[in-house]
Amino acid sequence: MTSEGHKCPGCDSIFTRRGIISHLHQTTDPLCCREAARLRDSTNMHESSDSGSSVADSLHEAPQILLQESSLPSQVDGDEAGVTSFNTVAFNSEEEAWEEGPLHHPASPGSKSDSEEEDDMYAYLEGGWEAPRETAPIHEIQDEEVETLEDIVMATGLIPEYGMSEPAKYETMDARYAHAVNGESNMWAPFRTRVDWEVVQWGKLRGPGSTAFSDLLSIPEVKERLDLSFNNSNELNRLIDEKLPGWPKFQRHEVVVQGEAMEFYSRDVEDCLRALWGDPDFADQLIFQPERQYVEEDELTRIYHEMHTGKWWWRTQVSCLQSVYRELGSCVILQKKVEDYTGHDKCTLIPLILLSDKTQLTTFRNKSAYPVYLTIGNLPKHIRRKPSRQGQVLLGYLPTSKLGHITNKTSRRRALGNLFHGCMRHMLKPLEKAGREGIVMVSGDGKARRCFPIFATYIGDYPEQVLVTLVKTGNCPVCPVHRKRLGDPASVEKPRDSKPIIKALKKISKGPLTFSRACAAAGIKAVQEPFWQNLPFVNVYNSITPDILHQLYQGVLKHVVAWIRSAVGDAEIDARCRRLPPNHHVRLFMKGIMHLSRVTGTEHDQISKFLLSLVLDVQLPDGLSSKRLVRAVRAILDFVCLSRYPAHTSQTLENLEDAHKSFHENKSIFIDLERLHIDMVKQVYAASNRKDEYAQMTDWLDRREKVLQHAKFIRRRINASDPNYSPIQLPPASLIPHRTLRMTKHPTLAAVTVERIENEYFRAALSRFVVQNQHPDFDKAHVRRASSQLVLGLAKVPVYHRIKYVSHDIHSLDPLAEHVVDSIHVEPERHDKYGNSVPGCFDTAVINFHNGGDAGVKGYCAGRIRCIFSLPPAHKCRWFPGGFPHKHLAYVEWFVPFSAAAFDRDSKLYKIRPYLEYGERQASIVPILLIRQSVHLFPKFGPSAPVAWKSSNVLDEARIFYVNPFSDRFPYSTLY
């Protein structure tokens, strides 16, 4: 310590005693962070001298004081249960900010005074007591600083867990399930044999129809050979209903609105949560607390991927801690204080994610359904997004009536809003108490925790966002910006404050006129008690999140296609679509895209992969330049691709913002020119007889879920009985999973003449390849001279028509199964069985020609694969007597390397051309292991697409090509 204060050993700045501690816990300076980490990690305790103490002494002084005065155990086990209790805190109104509860009461007798709490705070900060996980201690803050968890907890890893004990242990869910189906001795119970079970799986999971299954079993030979214990679908349904435990049953409810009776079906939300939480398949992957994760290189750049790595969980986790802080005037070991005041421990947050989307069941009869789904943020997203993993549960079907008998349009709109919120409030009512007081939840491994389910996110399209948030159509459902400024990126404001909204909603007790005026003044519709009004720790305007399907594919891209259509014209767009070369990742619309009606999200995704090719070099009316159009489309495509990243860093979020900014900078050109539904709704409806469909749909879905649950149970039992089974270890999150090149065991054609492959260019390329491998020290002139004198004596070679790249989906139910993620087709022209000519397909690829890395374009160039072959063993032994390491080779026609290619400023694409010497395309032989990936090229069309070009000949006819990064995430992430 200097005469002026304490000196930071990293930046040499001078601080007060309190300031140095706060500085070392909050700094982002690498030198200071290194010094702080070194001081915290030091294990030697130094005695303070009489003249003063150093920073190291201060940070390691008397940890025993903290442990004694705060009654913390000397050994704290890492707890899986989370950190914060949300016992009885709930927002009530602006005048009365919090309802009364244990957190609202003053300090109990025997609790410490503010000064004693402050002493404990200093003892903690200076003592450097370490939690068992990598965390940094809580730092002191002022009242006005209490905004987010970042202001209360500075953590390099997980949020600190103080005074936590191991969760209570119960019987595992699998043990309970086995007892329920009497499966202690029979692995296939309640079915008699393995054949019984496999037939049940086939009958219930292979399609919606039930009569086909009955017809199958009605065949005497089939029934006799299978020896089943049931004879038809009805007996099987009865067996499933009676013997298999299942998810919560659907309950039928009736709602009457001005004389019209409607029905809706729902499940108990607490039971649904227990089913999700208690699934043994999820026991090892449940997330219990928020984290901050950083890029390894600097430990300063945050990574955002799962819900617990974001900011919402941190903010919500600390909401009730703020109340404790205000009462006690200190932040000393907040988790311990919450547990003391609530009387609870092992407190875990369950973020609830609700999804809804009204969908058409039929095209002509105007049948629709309104499903509401539920999932939780404690499940990783790779589980939530796969219906086969059952990470989402159908919570209910809402009424779909349009209330046409109400003639007044205003009254009808209000009635529809009240109907929606009334049904949603009925389904979510149990969460009001559970979110305040907590409920005991048992996970699949038998561990019990006190959990607090908190409504976190609502996912839906714009009409549903408006319906949920009560704002008027045309306004932003999140922020209060005026509707006329919605197109201005500078007009983005903070989300609405829910306090005045709640205050206006409570005016309903003062009469309808006062209520309507209060709601109008608050900028919302007059809806009686929306479903989120009494849910704890909820600001619905923070809960509305966009999704890729509705906001990007069915929203933005749909409009962009329409704008391009008006600018370019249908004929030119369809002409370009018909002239795009093939690629594994690109669907070719050989009839164009302008005739499509009711375009799905999948089709918009497919169109986005070549959308930029439709506007490059296009001729616009009135002599307008296409630069702004190209830049705007490129910005939209960048935004879509970046938004689909499975993980984000601060840098990728900046790139996302740059793409958004670029679109708004160039959008004036348009002014100048002017899956869950399939599994849980539509397929279910197809299984009904279209009469009284909801009762049949809920029964069908209930049986299907039971069979899926039983299938997972049997799979776990089989794995447990296999001595060689070991669970798959999940790697860290990455943008691109590892991929492996695969070739067929046998060639497509065993013997193809060299003359059929290509003319003399193939022979010359093969001769050069042989000489180069025989004499690696030869220069280009020597290779050319020696290859011209080499006699190949090669007449036929075995040929392959496809290269496949496979990867494993480690998050699927079968993580060992291989999935084709890319392929390269090399097929000559042929004739079909009717004698019609089928054009050849010779795909383009990215090839490593000079020590290229795993990503980037240095050392790479594009090539067109003309043939994939292997050398006959006799020639291999004659040419390479010392051995030849490559089994498969490729004959490639080259394009210019990327390093020599032009880079178009507007489209931000590489512009390449065939590599020619003396007017001839250059080709060579390369090992296929040098081929990294397929790549899609689209031609430079010019003002209009040439009539002579076709999809099958455009790679031969065109002279300039653009490298398409939007065909797949792999080229987007590795080439640009």
pLDDT tens, 525-554? 999 899 999 998 888 998 888 888 878 888
- Residues 685 and 682: their CA atoms lie apart, in Å, by 5
- Domain final residue, candidates 642, 675, 708: 675
Greater confidence, 640 or 46? 640
Greater confidence, 476 or 107? 476
Pairing relationship of beta strands 889-897 and 802-808 according to DSSP bridges: unpaired
pLDDT above 90: percentage of residues in the chain = 19
Helix or strand or coil: residue 519? Answer: helix
Looking at the 3D structure of the chain, how many domains does it have? 5
Greater confidence, 922 or 129? 922
Predicted local confidence at residue 533, as pLDDT: 92
Residues 557 and 412 in one domain: no
Evaluate whether residue 915 is within a structural domain.
yes
Residues 502 and 530 in one domain: yes
Predicted local confidence at residue 370, as pLDDT: 86
Predicted local confidence at residue 209, as pLDDT: 54
Predicted local confidence at residue 918, as pLDDT: 82
- Residues 628 and 670: their CA atoms lie apart, in Å, by 9
Average pLDDT rounded to a whole number, residues 566-578: 89
Are 864 and 892 within 8 A, CB to CB?
yes
- Domain final residue, candidates 675, 695, 728: 675
Residues 904 and 761 in one domain: yes
Does 117 have pLDDT greater than 80?
no
Average pLDDT rounded to a whole number, residues 18-34: 67
Evaluate whether residue 117 is within a structural domain.
no
Predicted local confidence at residue 809, as pLDDT: 72
Residues 832 and 781 in one domain: yes
Evaluate whether residue 522 is within a structural domain.
yes
Evaluate whether residue 686 is within a structural domain.
no
Task: Flag the least confident range among 516-520, 868-872, 900-904.
Answer: 900-904
Evaluate whether residue 66 is within a structural domain.
no
Q: Among 666, 646, 648, which Cα is nearest to 656's?
A: 648
Task: Flag the least confident range among 104-108, 262-266, 398-402, 407-411.
Answer: 104-108
Predicted local confidence at residue 103, as pLDDT: 27
Residues 6+ apart with CB under 8 A from 425: 529, 530, 531
Predicted local confidence at residue 368, as pLDDT: 78
Distances (CA, A) of 368 to 117, 363, 685, 690: 60, 10, 10, 12
- Residues 57 and 53: their CA atoms lie apart, in Å, by 6
Average pLDDT rounded to a whole number, residues 247-275: 89
Predicted local confidence at residue 669, as pLDDT: 84
Predicted local confidence at residue 914, as pLDDT: 93
Q: For the chain, give the mean pLDDT.
A: 75
Greater confidence, 362 or 292? 292
Evaluate whether residue 946 is within a structural domain.
yes
Residues 517 and 396 in one domain: yes
- Residues 428 and 607: their CA atoms lie apart, in Å, by 39
pLDDT band, residue 107 (cuts 50/70/90): very low
Distance of CA 271 to the CA centre of its chain: 26
Per-residue model confidence as pLDDT tens digits over 194-233:
777 777 777 776 655 556 666 666 656 666 766 777 777 7
Predicted local confidence at residue 5, as pLDDT: 65
Distance of CA 777 to the CA centre of its chain: 50
Per-residue model confidence as pLDDT tens digits over 416-448:
999 999 999 999 999 998 888 788 888 888 888
Which residue range(s) make up the domain with 268?
251-288+345-483+494-545
Residues 765 and 793 in one domain: yes
Q: Among 309, 344, 291, 431, which Cα is nearest to 167's?
A: 344
Per-residue model confidence as pLDDT tens digits over 297-325:
666 788 888 888 888 887 777 664 454 34
Residues 938 and 871 in one domain: yes
Are 162 and 341 within 8 A, CB to CB?
no
Are 635 and 666 within 8 A, CB to CB?
yes
Evaluate whether residue 699 is within a structural domain.
no
Evaluate whether residue 327 is within a structural domain.
no
Residues 589 and 443 in one domain: no
Per-residue model confidence as pLDDT tens digits over 800-850:
999 999 987 766 666 667 888 899 999 988 888 888 888 889 999 999 988
Helix or strand or coil: residue 453? Answer: strand
Are 164 and 288 within 8 A, CB to CB?
no
- Residues 561 and 668: their CA atoms lie apart, in Å, by 16
What beta strand segments (E) does 435-572 contain?
A: 439-442, 447-459
Predicted local confidence at residue 961, as pLDDT: 95
- Residues 829 and 753: their CA atoms lie apart, in Å, by 15
pLDDT band, residue 81 (cuts 50/70/90): very low
Predicted local confidence at residue 728, as pLDDT: 52
What is the DSSP secondary structure assignment for residue 74, as one 8-state letter?
Answer: S
- Domain final residue, candidates 246, 278, 309: 246
pLDDT band, residue 768 (cuts 50/70/90): confident
pLDDT band, residue 30 (cuts 50/70/90): low
Q: Omega into 190 within 30° of 0, i.e. cis? A: yes
Greater confidence, 690 or 904? 904
Average pLDDT rounded to a whole number, residues 856-876: 90
- Residues 552 and 799: their CA atoms lie apart, in Å, by 43
Are 330 and 70 within 8 A, CB to CB?
no
The label of the residue with tokens 């050319």 reads 784
Residues 6+ apart with CB under 8 A from 491: 481, 482, 485
Q: Kindly report the three-state secondary structure assignment for every residue of 634-657.
A: HHHHHHHHHHCCCCEEHHHHHHHH
User: What are the phi and psi torsion angles at 623 (to 5°)?
Assistant: 70, 20
Predicted local confidence at residue 206, as pLDDT: 61
Q: Nearest-5° angle of CA 256, CA 259, CA 260?
A: 60
Residues 880 and 966 in one domain: yes
Helix or strand or coil: residue 178? Answer: helix
Does 563 have pLDDT greater than 90?
no
Residues 759 and 847 in one domain: yes
Are 244 and 196 within 8 A, CB to CB?
no
Residues 258 and 279 in one domain: yes
Does 686 have pLDDT greater than 70?
no
Residues 568 and 470 in one domain: no
- Residues 851 and 897: their CA atoms lie apart, in Å, by 13
Distance of CA 291 to the CA centre of its chain: 18
pLDDT band, residue 792 (cuts 50/70/90): confident
Are 358 and 465 within 8 A, CB to CB?
no
